[in-house]
Structure 1
Amino acid sequence: MTKAVKPAAGEARHYIRIKEQILADITEGKLQPGDRVSSESELVAAFGVSRMTANRALRELMFEGVLKRSAGIGTFVSPKHLDVDLLQIRNIADEILERGHKHKAAVVKADLMKADANVADALELTLGVEVMHSLIVHMENDQPIQVEERYVNPLVAPDYLSTDFRSMTPHEYLTKVAPITAFEHIVQAVKPDTTIRKYLGLKNDHPCLRVFRRTWSGEAVVTCALLYYPGAQYRLEARSTKGPSKPVAILGEKQ
């Protein structure tokens, strides 16, 4: 249960005080994703406010995506969603470090393979030519958050397989040897196969997001990759530079 703090003189309106306390409890780890937060009645008693004030605080936090209400059960801290920006390509290790967490990569495969029709078409190479292939699991604080299966054009990045991907991500290496001039993203919600489920630690009925990414450097296709994310933990975002800066409620999401 959220405990009230004594308001300072001239403090903001009561509903803001309630919001700030709940947010502080989440930030400090007192409330974790999935935990039930205080009910309106409990907030009324703890903060000495009206039910309308308590309701407003909870409603605004639900609108902002911080809380989620289950009818007849209660109000809970929403699962944390990590954003994947479709309008730019960033190094996953940098994203994790910016969240104050530790990145680690487990290299499952790093080998040469003959390009099948799909890979040859994606890399704009001849069918059957040897290409470089890697399968890497990226972890955040030792929890798997992305499986990256990548195919690389050996004419553009001949030393790809010599790279230590535990200390340098494929993205970091490839952008150094072949700066990106264009890219393509195709997103699908898919039911992962046994291998992807195992590496992401997903249950049989859990979906995942799959991002197909292809990058160019000049006229040459450098790489194509399949990036798998746990579907319940990620959301995809894209916004034009002239779009609104204030987040809005997402249509179709229960408040």
Structure 2
Amino acid sequence: MMLPLYQQIKQMILRQIETGTWPEHYRIPSENELVNEFGASRMTIHRALRELTAENYLVRVQGVGTFVAERKGRSALFSVNSIADEIKARHHRHSSTIVHLEQETANSEQALALEIREGQSVFHSIIVHYENDIPIQLEDRYVNVQMAPDYLQQDFIATTPYAYLSDVAPLTAGEHRVEAVLAKSHECALLHIEPDEPCLLIRRRTWSGDQAVSYARLIHPGSRHHLEGKFTT
């Protein structure tokens, strides 16, 4: 069975990287050049590059270009990944439900996390992510309005906040704080868990350049999720 065109293009790009034809830090051809080379649509090329970026094979720098990433250990604990891409990598089906998507006023906690003034406008989204129809993550995210002005207009059923923010404000730094918690009652209802189910909470902040982009609370039922990481000494 023939793979979809975007996956064929991903494989061809990976072959260039794995054979060393495109070494680390190599600036790959532009989207327009790849469109001409592969005879594919811009949308197809864009999807292939976006997924390779999410999988940490490429690094995209807005206004500069796309580069082959350094080879590093990749895991959810030590890197910022898309939950949708992690699920698809397991050959499972990702879906999501939008619970909340509004513009709000930042309180002191949100202002501190986003490095803005208290009372400034922020975008707030709450999304439940499912793996094969089982809820595995509640994403409660606040976004810097200046960094992603069209955030509220996005279809977060068709894409994810991670994918959109990666395009408009490419990630240059991230921070994870991990805690064991009990979810609040409304969070338990969204995740379909009992109130005494232990959960894993990841507090994630991301930056693009020197500007904070988003602050998220990612809640995972302990029985359905684990973190793993690889490190060297």
Q: TM-score, normalised by structure 2?
A: 0.67
Q: Secondary structure at the match of 2:99?
A: strand
Q: Which residue of 2 aligns with 1:193?
A: 184
- Superposed, which structure 2 residues align to 1:133-152 within 5 Å? 133-152=124-143
- Cα distance in structure 1, aligned partners of 2:171 and 2:85: 17
Q: Which residue of 1 aligns with 2:4?
A: none
What letter corresponds to residue 163 of structure 1 in structure 2?
Q
Q: Which residue of 1 aligns with 2:149?
A: 158
Q: Which residue of 2 aligns with 1:123?
A: 114
Aligned residues with identical type, % of pairs: 45
- Cα distance in structure 1, aligned partners of 2:225 and 2:127: 18
Q: Which residue of 2 aligns with 1:219?
A: 210
Structure 1 residue 229 corresponds to structure 2 residue 220:
yes
Q: Which residue of 1 aligns with 2:195?
A: 204
What letter corresponds to residue 134 of structure 2 in structure 1?
Q
- Cα distance in structure 1, aligned partners of 2:117 and 2:103: 15
Q: CA RMSD in A?
A: 1.4
Residues 184 and 195, structure 2, Cα contact 8 Å, conserved in 1 = no
Structure 1 residue 87 corresponds to structure 2 residue 81:
no
- Cα distance in structure 1, aligned partners of 2:224 and 2:140: 20
Deviation beyond 4 Å, 4+ runs, structure 1: none
Q: 1:232: Cα distance to partner? A: 1.9
- Cα distance in structure 2, aligned partners of 1:235 and 1:107: 24
What letter corresponds to residue 148 of structure 1 in structure 2?
E
Q: 1:233: Cα distance to partner? A: 2.2
Q: 1:237: Cα distance to partner? A: 1.9
Q: Secondary structure at the match of 2:135?
A: strand
- Cα distance in structure 2, aligned partners of 1:124 and 1:197: 30
- Cα distance in structure 2, aligned partners of 1:235 and 1:99: 14
Q: Which residue of 1 aligns with 2:28?
A: none
Structure 1 residue 173 corresponds to structure 2 residue 177:
no
- Cα distance in structure 2, aligned partners of 1:108 and 1:132: 14
Q: Which residue of 2 aligns with 1:104?
A: 95
- Superposed, which structure 2 residues align to 1:72-83 within 5 Å? none
Q: Secondary structure at the match of 1:126?
A: coil
Q: 1:238: Cα distance to partner? A: 2.2
Which blocks of at least 5 consecutive residues in structure 1 are unaligned? 1-83, 244-255
- Cα distance in structure 1, aligned partners of 2:94 and 2:230: 27
Q: 1:116: Cα distance to partner? A: 0.3
Q: 1:131: Cα distance to partner? A: 0.3
Q: 1:159: Cα distance to partner? A: 0.5
- Cα distance in structure 1, aligned partners of 2:164 and 2:180: 28
- Cα distance in structure 2, aligned partners of 1:233 and 1:197: 13
Which blocks of at least 5 consecutive residues in structure 2 are unaligned? 1-74
